[in-house]
Structure 1
């Protein structure tokens, strides 16, 4: 199944262990995709260039290039085409420019969350989530195989762009779970806007009727979204969870052993990725599991190949 054709994996080449390589190799093999493994070495600050020995920067780059070559040689034993590169510059910008140059359709990033349990997503992760034009898969130190995939959608979306994004999220979640023989949970978090105010102006029976009407509309929207699937594999279940998405999604992930959360990040294409959706950002601040984040159709990254770093 060719979900992806050219995968970019960003690692810290000097780490002792690289479980993310095995995950990326497995995905590339199942998709018949090419894999490029990169590491980013930031440019030395001008002040540091004045007092550090000149060969130091070259040695730093060469050591990472050599280690990447060793890792690639081992990875090629699986039969997958594997390339490597050492990128220079600001990490997020360098990664996005490499994507634009080489036409990658997925970026996976493994480092920056080395704690056990993993901490929140770091600054480079956040920049990629805002600005990267292709799906971003942020994984933790254990690089768990995605056997239980959670597709987070807004079943009540009226905007056509967001409706298409919902379908993209569900389709991709199902495709990835199918590769692993796993399952998908399609989740929508719903709430009643202004419920406390309504409570003070309505009888209990009237408010209950409003709440049930909103819940039923959310259920119908979720069912209609699932009905758009071309195939009914893998096993898919629907979950309507009452509450704010930033509260109930992390709680659901922790309670149901979710391996991968698939969700959208930028809801408006006109902002060119400078601003991430507020709800998405609050969710990501609280998630500790792997995340695969998608952008809507028409998203334009503010990073350009011909612009200064």
Structure 2
């Protein structure tokens, strides 16, 4: 049974609404003895560059800014003052928000980070911030990126897996995603659906191999993925009616399926690529998030 009992909520000082906090309260209400930490990393470069002030005066100015933000967060918590949830406030001075968040996760032993996913004001679509990208790649605990849609009791939860992969790490990640998704669905009295994308037939194979039959190849690939998916369904006691096998790229298939079943939450795993491979390939989670209108919970491998 999963436990999200030490929740870290990343607060945005520029936001008028705080869906991440509301979602954290909803998650905490499903747990026992849950604690929520409101966390805000802030930094103003102008305080560091002011030559007219001594180092002591700059320290005092920073302390004043931190205290002001702490008071602001206390006001935000006023509606929850009668809640049984244990709230903590922490504001830190740090120039790299994602590093501050990860340090807090490690120091506070948090088991879930909740952060709002920003909405673009011009074209009204959701966008990644650099902090989001770094968190998905490097945060040691699950990350829940929140939009402004509610989680209805009795709704649908969609878990995305790569069923045909047979390497140990991917199988372990698939098992983790399905197991945690099933528990989340149980807590929400929601129905769990499983989505798996299988690749389209490579065009170059049909061009380079005269005897190549793309229809037969496509059917064989589909059967392979279908067989693997049924193994997971049997392992986790999932009905065949909640299995979705679609041809195409995962970043296209997952949002399409989420819309089709009106999912309130999508859960998937990420390998957390870094360096050149991340720049060239990206991660499915990073490519999916902007195309979803619902929340997304991203899990990392246990290792």
SS in 2 for 1:78: coil
In the alignment, does 2:93 pair up with 1:88? yes
Question: Hey, what's the Cα distance between the residues in 2 that align with 1:135 and 1:97?
Answer: 15
Question: Hey, what's the Cα distance between the residues in 2 that align with 1:262 and 1:27?
Answer: 15
Question: Hey, what's the Cα distance between the residues in 2 that align with 1:63 and 1:47?
Answer: 18
> Of residues 136, 144, 166 in structure 2, which corresponds to 1:158?
166
CA-to-partner distance for each residue in 1:205-258, whole Å, 9 max, x for gaps? x433322221111111111112222x659x971100101112222233334322
Name 2:4's counterpart in structure 1: 4
Compared CA separation, residues 118 and 81, structure 1 to 2 (3 A): farther
2:272, 2:283 within 8 Å by CA — same for their partners in 1? no
Name 1:35's counterpart in structure 2: 36
> Of residues 184, 187, 194 in structure 2, which corresponds to 1:179?
187
Equivalences, count: 292
1:116-155 map, 5 Å: 117-140=124-147, 142-145=148-151, 147-155=155-163
Unpaired runs of at least 5, structure 1: 299-309
In the alignment, does 2:111 pair up with 1:110? no
* Superposition deviation, residue 135 in structure 1: 0.5
In the alignment, does 2:209 pair up with 1:201? yes
Name 2:271's counterpart in structure 1: 266
SS in 2 for 1:216: helix
Unpaired runs of at least 5, structure 2: none
SS in 1 for 2:235: coil
* Superposition deviation, residue 139 in structure 1: 0.7
TM-score (norm 1): 0.82
* Superposition deviation, residue 163 in structure 1: 0.4
> Of residues 191, 194, 198 in structure 1, which corresponds to 2:199?
191
Name 1:241's counterpart in structure 2: 246
Name 1:222's counterpart in structure 2: 229
1:265, 1:294 within 8 Å by CA — same for their partners in 2? yes
Compared CA separation, residues 171 and 273, structure 1 to 2 (3 A): farther
SS in 2 for 1:17: coil
Question: Hey, what's the Cα distance between the residues in 1 that align with 2:201 and 2:215?
Answer: 14
* Superposition deviation, residue 294 in structure 1: 1.1
Compared CA separation, residues 105 and 74, structure 1 to 2 (3 A): same
TM-score (norm 2): 0.84
